[in-house]
Structure 1
Amino acid sequence: MKIIVCIKQVPDSASIEVDPEKGTLKRTGHNSKTNPYDLFALEAALRIREKAGGIVTALTMGPKQAEEMMRDAYMMGVDEAVILSDPKFAGSDVLATSYTLFQGIRSLGGADLIICGKQTTDGDTAQIGPAIAEHLGIPHVAWVNSIEDISGEAITVLQKTGSCIQQSQMKYPCLITVEKDIFVPRLPSYKLGLATAKRSVRFLSCDALPDKNMSCFGLIGSPTAVERMFPPEVSDVREYIHGTPAEKSDRMFELLKKRKLI
């Protein structure tokens, strides 16, 4: 089985910089980490490989510093790592990002199963996985809580929604996004780190993708625009409210109204 896991490197703290002209995050030169939700996707892929065999490839779009994240993926046990890296990809919104990853998957020859974390901690849209599936024209199930069965032709998964539990079976190729309670991610292995220290991470530029139409990539290919983006403001100002519950609620109402929050 050929499995591709889409992962992303996200800021490690709220101390980030924003490009004032493009309104996008500056992703280079700052502490970053693997998107926490993607660790569950990696673990799901590795467990499926243990049961059904095959190859697990980690795929991301990002700057060169994403190689550090891919080294961690190797230490968890993935077989291959590919980074889609090109200045032309900068400033991508959900549509352009999903299209770039879709092109990356095509350039790798496709996959039987594609796994994504349910969302990222920087964008929180939860749209990338389903959008990739739509580009590929394959079935998908989002927010999977458990994998019930894996066969040579299909995968059976379980979703727990607020009102029901749904079981779905999909034939390959297909895509799933997984919830954080699906598995406990394994820790990176020092032994695997030594074994994969010389294993290369493959970089692909826009020129290596099947579609080179620049109207689909980066800022040009992004139909949505962020009007303003800024780091959270840090404030040490505190006001403590004392009194009975009724007095506290009245005072809270006055403060919120004064600040025009209600």
Structure 2
Amino acid sequence: MDTVMSKNPKASRLAATYRLRYAEALAVIREDSGLAHAMATKRGISLAEAERQIHKQYAEARERADRDEVSFRTALAEVRSELEISHEVDELTNTTPSMEELLREMLPQTCDGLVGEQIEVPGEDNYHVPGLDFAEVELPRNVDEISLSAVDLDLDTLVWTPAERYEDGTQVGTAEVNAHVTLDGFMAKYDTYGDHDVEIWTFDWNDHMSYVGFGRDVVLEFQVTAPVTGAIDNLALVGARETRRLLGPHHLST
């Protein structure tokens, strides 16, 4: 007595819908066993939506197979490879903070690290003092050893300007942000009695000098390098330029 083996109904439907040989359709059904459940779990979608997406892949594979004259299974593998890459990019886009968000988080930390740094004094040989570039900020000439004392950022003015993106996704560019900076230094005591725009923080710092401070409203410019991983690995102050002068009271404090 001959045994008649019944055909897999899913494979039969797949073969009829997408013009496949039954054996090829059966191989696809076996390979895709459990795929809908796995996709639904991984992507957080319903089982029905996962099955809909799989059937959409079948339709795209049939179209590609006819166009490129390849087998249905080869075309299906290509479609799924492209979709997986696209999905990974979407996941990265959805979970990676924007550059502006990264900068808002990193800039205060970076500026805190700059406090205490000396301001550069241009000059040749022994007259040059290395430090932060405040060349475009008008500083009092009779204050020596000027350092950055405090930075108050206005993060609502932050502007990110991308310059280049490399093949690996790394971005480079500049960030500018308005800030009120407080600077400190030392002034000869006899200069404190003249016209100036500094505050006398400690008049009797020593026999000859007073410890002083003053403020400036500036735009700070930073060089930024950020890899595709969604983090900033280099945030360096390029320089500062002044926006307007602040005339502080020149009072004495002891």
TM-score range for the pair, normalised by the shorter chain length:
under 0.3
Name the TM-score, length of structure 1 as normaliser: 0.18
Indicate the structure with greater helix content.
Answer: 2
Name the TM-score, length of structure 2 as normaliser: 0.19
Indicate the structure with greater strand content.
Answer: 2
Specify the structure having the higher radius of gyration (Cα): 2
